[in-house]
Structure 1
Amino acid sequence: MGPWTRFPYDTQDYRYDTAALRRAWERLHVGDAEPWPEDETVQTAWCAYHAGDYQQAVALGLAADAASAAGGLTVASKAQLMQAHYLERSETQRFALFLDAAARAEALAEQEPGNANAHYLLAYALGRYGQGISVARALQQGLGERVKGALETTIRLEPRHADAHTALGAFHAEVIDTLGALLGRTQGASKDAGISMFRTALRLNPGSAITRVEYANGLVMLEGETRLRDAEKLYAEAAQCTPLDATERLHIEVARAELAL
């Protein structure tokens, strides 16, 4: 694999050394509740991740995992997924990155069934892949059940996992938008559950831009154009968030792009 597409914005404000990363860790990881890693290589991998150097984060994370350091696969998988979803231009390569990360996360979940983020990253990888091939096709392939199950496991293991609540809200919204409320029940989806998940995510992580973006999308999918004004308000709030790292900056740019449409 050649060099990955570089993060397109200035990264000066997102570059942490390990001491600064430790001080900012709780705020940076309020969304995924990832515990502080003790291994120095994993810490350096997270520094690369937060600076938007996703390829370096993957390399360091995999190297740490090869040395049996806890947390290496988590940072490697998350970095690969952000690269795939936000920066990879080739659809073929994007799908390959999603599926590779899904296989890695699934193996980690089997090895460490109590690792909440292993289950979350599996759900994220399969969910984004499913969006890419179309939600209807993904549901036909049984991916919806796997995504929902992995997210519910994440929340059971770590109830403070705001990102999992956001993703589960998006699951309910996309299934209902694709199948309708009645058929959506066959996939375990409901409007009330979706709205509840988004609200919980915002309560757990009130400064999250991505939760606002997904909530805005979900409102329109669940309740139609009557909620467009509410969705626009959420996009505007997301666009005004202050990013603490490269990934948050990408989330905010998504909101700005929605407002520009």
Structure 2
Amino acid sequence: MAKWTAFPYDNSAFAYTRATLKKHWARLHAGDAEPFPKDAAVQQAWLHFHAGEFQAAYDAGLAAGGAGTSVANKAQAIYANYLEKKEKVKLEMFLEIAERAERQQADEPRNPSAYYWQAYALGRYGQGISVAKALAQGLGAKVKQSLETTIALAPRHADAHIALGAFHAEVIDKVGKLLGRTQGADTATGQKMFEQALKLNPASAIAMIERANGLVMLEGDKRLKEAEQLYADAAACEPMDAMELLDVELAREELED
């Protein structure tokens, strides 16, 4: 496999030990509701992930198997979304994650992570090929179903609420409210999902960013001021790991444009 692009920021603040990882676990995983792993090899994979060593986290997660699959999926998904420069490689990575997550569902049908990473990867893949094209291929229904399953299995999975809110917003934005209904998308549900995500994980920069985007997609320019404030709040967040720093930097870049 080609060498992945290195994390581009100072990650010295995110060099956790096994002891500090456990201490800060609840805060670090407020988004994905992931349980603390018993396996030392999986813990090591998470240490790589939080430090922004995404390729090492991916390799270690796959090698560990079992709960390590979730680390591998998250590491590859975050890397592909934020750091992979080649669009073709990015889309291939998302498809690979979706396929791996689907296999994980067969092995662990009660694992919310398996459904979430399939939905996340297919959602990002759909954005890459165009939302309209993805809906025509039936990916929208798969994304929605996987996210709803994630939330049914893990009601406190804030990231699944964010992603489901984004699904409703993206569909309505691209095909309109009337056609959106045929895909199961509606404004009220989208707003409710964003609000719930921020209740579950109030320190989440990505929840603020996605809610800001969703407000404008669902309700137009009249919510622009509110969206700008959410971006400012996201930019002011204190990141606890490399992934959160990428979210904060994204918000800062948007504010500068």
TM bracket (short chain): over 0.9
**2:105 aligned partner:** 109
Question: Given residue 19 of structure 2, which amino acid in structure 1 is its aligned partner?
Answer: A
**1:29 aligned partner:** 29
Which secondary structure state, in structure 2, belongs to the residue aligned with residue 159 of structure 1?
Answer: coil
Structure 1, unpaired ranges of 5+: none
Which secondary structure state, in structure 2, belongs to the residue aligned with residue 7 of structure 1?
Answer: coil
Question: Given residue 184 of structure 2, which amino acid in structure 1 is its aligned partner?
Answer: G
1:10-50: CA deviation from partner (whole Å, max 9, x where unpaired): 00001111111011101000110000001111000000000
Cα distance between partner residues in 1 of 2:245 and 2:184: 33
**1:45 aligned partner:** 45
Cα distance between partner residues in 2 of 1:59 and 1:205: 28
For normalisation by structure 2, the TM-score amounts to 0.99
**2:184 aligned partner:** 188
Which secondary structure state, in structure 2, belongs to the residue aligned with residue 164 of structure 1?
Answer: helix
Residue number among 73, 83, 91 corresponding to 1:77 in the alignment: 73
Which secondary structure state, in structure 1, belongs to the residue aligned with residue 210 of structure 2?
Answer: helix
**2:143 aligned partner:** 147
**2:208 aligned partner:** 212
**1:178 aligned partner:** 174
Cα distance between partner residues in 1 of 2:176 and 2:106: 34
**1:54 aligned partner:** 54
Question: Given residue 43 of structure 1, which amino acid in structure 2 is its aligned partner?
Answer: Q
Question: Given residue 151 of structure 2, which amino acid in structure 1 is its aligned partner?
Answer: I
Cα distance between partner residues in 2 of 1:235 and 1:19: 33
Please provide the CA RMSD for this pair. 0.6
Q: Which runs of 4+ in 1 moved over 2 A?
A: none
Question: Given residue 35 of structure 1, which amino acid in structure 2 is its aligned partner?
Answer: P
- The alignment of Structure 1 onto Structure 2 pairs a total of residues equal to 257
Cα distance between partner residues in 1 of 2:180 and 2:3: 41
Cα distance between partner residues in 1 of 2:167 and 2:30: 21
Residues 1:246 and 2:242 are matched in the alignment: yes
**2:63 aligned partner:** 63
Question: Given residue 40 of structure 1, which amino acid in structure 2 is its aligned partner?
Answer: A
**2:256 aligned partner:** 260
**1:168 aligned partner:** 164
Task: Report deviation, 1:192.
Answer: 0.3
Task: Report deviation, 1:257.
Answer: 1.1
Which secondary structure state, in structure 2, belongs to the residue aligned with residue 10 of structure 1?
Answer: coil
Task: Report deviation, 1:258.
Answer: 1.1
For normalisation by structure 1, the TM-score amounts to 0.98
% identical equivalent positions: 59
Residue number among 57, 72, 84 corresponding to 1:88 in the alignment: 84
**2:219 aligned partner:** 223
Cα distance between partner residues in 1 of 2:113 and 2:68: 12
Which secondary structure state, in structure 2, belongs to the residue aligned with residue 89 of structure 1?
Answer: coil
Cα distance between partner residues in 2 of 1:51 and 1:111: 29
